Structures are given as structure tokens and as C-alpha cells.
């Protein structure tokens, strides 16, 4: 485990490489987080991990180092339903970041409007039991209906073994749905394995279900260079090229025992999106359509 003297966890690479792949102009890192700073934005008392600060300045320095132009900051579970740290990151971005919130089921319409004004464009529902204690589907559906007038989408995070039991819930969501990390399939099964076939059935069930083709470090147990991930995911990008996003997942929550090099993560992009057209859709066109429509 990587931790400092205070016991707070460090889960990011201290000196990530500069990628050999150059993202196209305007590229968006569409899945990243900020942690704290704790002195200004305390972590939730229910947090399952206590990270070291990874604030906006660090995020934007990484963005520039990796060759990206914009970020989508996803509320991290360690901050619970207090979105202040994420809003702070968006505010400091100079218009170059949008966000995805986590909200309490009792959230008011006024609070949703405030979050929208602060740059939030979606809400995240987390079903990973190791990260959250409660995931009330009925209340989540109420939230999904209430965000419709704002034009937001729903981000859903779950693991492959519960995909089938999730289907009625997903079918009932009235907004565009964005699935984190492809629902965490077993990429060692290959592109035609049971997990990927089940995920394709979900994508085929609605044309407004998108996904993030992210986190080889989480999904490929063999580790870098993540060949199984590349083999399993490239066909998905080709077949659903208008519904895929990419992101670093920096600062890699809960990956302190296998911290990835962010430059190497960027160098995965041409392996799953080998043409300039696919790369532009994945990194520019799709995220801009979702988070900066009209720009």
C-alpha cells in the first residue's frame, strides 16, 4: 500500500510518463476525480478510503502533461453527497471542466439547479458494495426523473456479475445512461466472452446507453501493457463508436497496490481506437456532445 505518514492513501503515479500518442486537439479526459484538499473539503465520514489530497491544480497539470484540453470530474465516493470539491475543481478550470454529481435522494430542485449552474451535467449511481452501503433503486429512479428537465444523464457503476439483475432498473431510467468502465467485464474472456456479450446485449437494447472504455489497470489482471484489455475492447469501440468515452480515472481510487502510469494509459487509446476518426469520436466529438453541447 502506498500511504504517507498520516495513513492517508496515495493512489496516483508520482511521475507519469509523457505518452507517445498525441491526443487530437480538444481531447477530453471524461472520467477523473479530485480529492479535497481535505482542509477545505473534508471527506465523508462514511468514506471507505481516506486519500491524500489530489486537487484541481494537480489534475490540470496532468491534463496538460498528457495532451488533453478538458476534463469531466466525477464525484468520488470518498466525498459522499457533498459535491463541493468537485464544484471547486470545475470553477477553477476556466470553463474546461464539467462534472458528474452524487446526490442524496432528498436533494431539492433548488440544489439541482445550483449544481447545474456549477457545471454538473449528470448524476452517478454507484452499486459497488465495497464503496457504498446503500443503493436504493427506487429512489435513484426518482432522481433520474427529476434531472430530466436539466438535460442531465445518469452514470451507473456496477460489476459484471450483477448486470442481469440491473436490467429492469436500467430499462426504467428515462435519460441517457452512461456505464462506467463497461460494467467491469472480465476482459480475459476476450471480445466474445460471456461478459462482453452480455454487455453488448445491454447496449443493443437502447441506443441511448453509452459507456466509458476505461481502466485497463482495473480490468486486466495480467497488468501492463494490458493486452487482454486491448483485445477485448477494440471491437466494442469500433461497433459502438458514437457511444464511447475515455478517461484516465485519475487519481485512481483504491488502486494504491497497482498504481498505473497515466502516460501508459493514454498510449492504450490507439490500441482500442486505431484510426484518427475513431480517436476523434472517442476523445472529442462524443464527450463534447454530452458535456458541452453546442460548442
71: part of which helix (H) or strand (E)? strand 70-74
Is the torsion defined by CA of 81, 210, 159, 55 positive or negative? negative
* 46 three-state secondary structure: coil
SS3 30: strand
Three-state SS sequence of 96-151:
CEEEEECCCCCCCHHHHHHHHHCCEEEEEEECCCCCCCCCCHHHHHHHHHHCHHHC
Phi, psi (deg, nearest 5) at residue 110: -65, -40
288: which residues sit within 8 A by CB, 6+ positions away?
Answer: 26, 28, 295
Kind plus residue range of the DSSP H or E element containing 210? strand 209-212
Cell numbers that stand for 198 in this block: 452480455
Known active-site residue 262? no
Task: Measure the CA–CA gap between 281 and 277, rounded to whole angstroms.
Answer: 6
Q: Which residues contact 188 (CB under 8 A, 6 or more apart)?
A: 220, 221, 222, 228, 232
Quote the distance between the C-alpha of residue 110 and its chain's center: 26
Catalytic one among 180, 220, 228, 249? Answer: 249
Give the separation between CA 229 and CA 214, rounded to whole angstroms.
9
Distance CA 183, CA 117 (A): 30
**CA angle, corner 80, sides to 101 and 256, nearest 5?**
100
Catalytic residues: 249
Amino acid at each position: 500500500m502506498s500511504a504517507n505518514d498520516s495513513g492517508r492513501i496515495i493512489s496516483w503515479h508520482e511521475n507519469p510518463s509523457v505518452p507517445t500518442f498525441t491526443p487530437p486537439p480538444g481531447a477530453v479526459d471524461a472520467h477523473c476525480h479530485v480529492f479535497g484538499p481535505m482542509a477545505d473539503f473534508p471527506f465523508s465520514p462514511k468514506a471507505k478510503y481516506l486519500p491524500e489530497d489530489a486537487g484541481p491544480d494537480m489534475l490540470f497539470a496532468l491534463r496538460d502533461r498528457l495532451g488533453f484540453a478538458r476534463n469531466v470530474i466525477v464525484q468520488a465516493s470518498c466525498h459522499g453527497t457533498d459535491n463541493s470539491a468537485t464544484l471547486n475543481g470545475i470553477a477553477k478550470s476556466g470553463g474546461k471542466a464539467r462534472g458528474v454529481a452524487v446526490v442524496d435522494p432528498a436533494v431539492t430542485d433548488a440544489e439541482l439547479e445550483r449544481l447545474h449552474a456549477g457545471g454538473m451535467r449528470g448524476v452517478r449511481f454507484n452499486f459497488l458494495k465495497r464503496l457504498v452501503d446503500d443503493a436504493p433503486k427506487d429512489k435513484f429512479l426518482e432522481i433520474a426523473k427529476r434531472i430530466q428537465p436539466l438535460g442531465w444523464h445518469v452514470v451507473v457503476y456496477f460489476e459484471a456479475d450483477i448486470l442481469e439483475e440491473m436490467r429492469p432498473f436500467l430499462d426504467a431510467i428515462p435519460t441517457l445512461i452512461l456505464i462506467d468502465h463497461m460494467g467491469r467485464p472480465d476482459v480475459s474472456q476476450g471480445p466474445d466472452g460471456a461478459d462482453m456479450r452480455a454487455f453488448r446485449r445491454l447496449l443493443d437494447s437502447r441506443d441511448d446507453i453509452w459507456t466509458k472504455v476505461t481502466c485497463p489497470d482495473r480490468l486486466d489482471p495480467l497488468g501492463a501493457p494490458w493486452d487482454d484489455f486491448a483485445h477485448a475492447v477494440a471491437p466494442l469501440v469500433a461497433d459502438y463508436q458514437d457511444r464511447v468515452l475515455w478517461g484516465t480515472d485519475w487519481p485512481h481510487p483504491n488502486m494504491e497496490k497497482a498504481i498505473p502510469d497515466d502516460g501508459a494509459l493514454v498510449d492504450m487509446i490507439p490500441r482500442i481506437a486505431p484510426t484518427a476518426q475513431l480517436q476523434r469520436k472517442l476523445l472529442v466529438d462524443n464527450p463534447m456532445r454530452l458535456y458541452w453541447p453546442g460548442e
